[in-house]
Amino acid sequence: MRVFVTGARGFVGRHLVPRLLDEGFEVTATDRDLDVSDRAAVDARLKQVKPEAIVHLAAQSSVAASTEDPERTHRINYGGALSVLEGALRCGSRPRVLLIGSADQYGSAGPGSPPFREDSPLAPASEYARSKTEAERLGTSFLDAGLEVVRIRAFSHSGPGQSDAFALSSFARQTAEIEAGRREPVLRVGNLDSVRDYLDVDDVVEAYLRLLDPDVAADIYNVASGVGTRLGELLDALLDLADQRPSIERDPERFRPADCSIGDASRLRAATGWKPAVPIERTLERLLDDWRRKIKES
Ligand code: A2R
């Protein structure tokens, strides 16, 4: 199967592309070399490649950056999805499209609420989440034109290669810097009471692989563990792996009201048999080792 990947040099793409190649897929990997908001360029490239599937990862993926520059976020996330969907319809090979959305589309749940299901109401609270929600709706509208659009709502995931704009990666980077004596032994954090549903990036990649299967219904799917964990608990687990215990300081810049986001992935499990396989401790270990290596090399 010929798979066209956008955003292939991003965090998930760098894990997905090697896995696709291992599985015997033929891969066309694109990133900044193909601006997804440039409709004509995307159209031309898809007509040339005529893929059987597209995994559309390219995005402005930071919530904070989306608040600073909402227009740019909309242009990349919504405009990018529009280019890819239109290009897919016109390229002649009718590719199945995996549109990657986010748990942020649901907003935050109240304490004790059940995990979000695909039919839970959406309450996007940032331009990032709004752009993903609109891109998903756009994807749904292309079903009528006969395009198989799989709309994915991915919950938090982490692993080696993730930007330190995301909480766990930031904790791991700071820990590795403290271990290396490159930072005073103070770890700066946001709100540790937030509860998140965390997956290892390898489990997310496995879910996307299964959703490429043409026999799986082109539906909306949560990719989630179903388990919520306080960020503070994850930080403790990370520090158990560290060779020293820094003090923890609240960073007003990062501090947001505590939120709660847990997903129910039973639809994905029923359709594909997928379930997460990597324990979070393993994710934290690989993330910390990756930062240790990068800091040593820098
Ligand atoms: O912003 P950069 O230089 O890191 O490049 C990102 C790239 N990208 C684009 N590619 C083509 N045309 C654009 N206009 C454009 N803008 C950004 O997409 C980066 O290499 C990639 C996205 O990777 P990450 O930001 O690392 O996201 P991640 O964690 O791999 O997430 C994949 C998908 C995204 O749609 C997220 O919103 C969703 O999963 O959670």
pLDDT tens sequence across 206-251: 999 999 999 999 999 999 999 999 999 999 999 999 998 999 999 9
pLDDT the model gives residue 183:
96
Average pLDDT value over all residues in the chain? 97
114 Cα to the center of ligand 1, angstroms: 30
Nearest C-alpha to atom 3 of ligand 1 is from which residue? 32
Is residue 10 very low, low, confident or very high in pLDDT (cuts 50, 70, 90)? very high
75 Cα to the center of ligand 1, angstroms: 13
63 Cα to the center of ligand 1, angstroms: 12
Tell me the two tokens of residue 62. 């930071």
Angle formed by the axes of helices 231-239 and 167-179, nearest 10°: 30
Is residue 253 very low, low, confident or very high in pLDDT (cuts 50, 70, 90)? confident
- Dist. CA 90–CA 66, nearest whole Å: 30
243 Cα to the center of ligand 1, angstroms: 33
Cβ 143 vs Cβ 126: under 8 Å: no
pLDDT the model gives residue 111:
77
Pick from 5, 37, 57 the residue to mutate for probing ligand 1's pocket: most ligand atoms within 8 Å of its CB. 57
Mean pLDDT value across residues 66-70 = 95
- Dist. CA 106–CA 126, nearest whole Å: 11
pLDDT the model gives residue 267:
99
Q: Cβ < 6 Å from ligand 1: which residues?
A: 6-7, 9-13, 31-32, 34-37, 57-61, 76, 80, 100, 102, 154
Amino acid at 90: R
38-52, 203-217, 251-265: least confident range: 251-265
Tens-place pLDDT, residues 130-181: 999 999 999 999 999 999 999 999 999 999 999 999 999 999 999 999 999 9
Mean pLDDT value across residues 59-69 = 95
Pick from 61, 166, 197 the residue to mutate for probing ligand 1's pocket: most ligand atoms within 8 Å of its CB. 61
Is the model's pLDDT at 257 over the cut of 90?
no
* SS3 of residue 148 by DSSP: coil
**Nearest-atom index, ligand 1, CA of 75:** 14
54-68, 212-226, 248-262: least confident range: 248-262
